[in-house]
Amino acid sequence: MNASTEVACLLKSFGNMAEQSLVGLEMAKADGLKVVGIYCIFAPVEIIRAAGALPVGLCGKRAEPIAAADGRLPPGSHG
Binding site for other proteins (CB under 8 A): 71-74, 76-77, 79
In the complex, minimum distance from the CB of residue 78 to other proteins, in angstroms, rounded to a whole number: 11
Q: Is residue 54 within 8 Å of 33, Cβ to Cβ?
A: yes
DSSP labels, 9-26 = HHHHHHHTHHHHHHHHHH
Rounded distance, CA 35 to CA 54, Å?
Answer: 5
Of residues 34 and 78, the one with the C-beta less far from other proteins: 78
Q: Which residues 6+ apart lie within 8 Å of 44 measured at CB? A: none
Instruction: Give the nearest distance from C-beta 70 to other proteins in angstroms.
Output: 11
| DSSP category for residue 55 | E
Q: Which is nearer to other proteins, 35 or 73 (CB)?
A: 73
| Least distance CB 23 / other proteins (angstroms) | 36
Compare residues 15 and 71 and give the one whose CB is closer to other proteins: 71
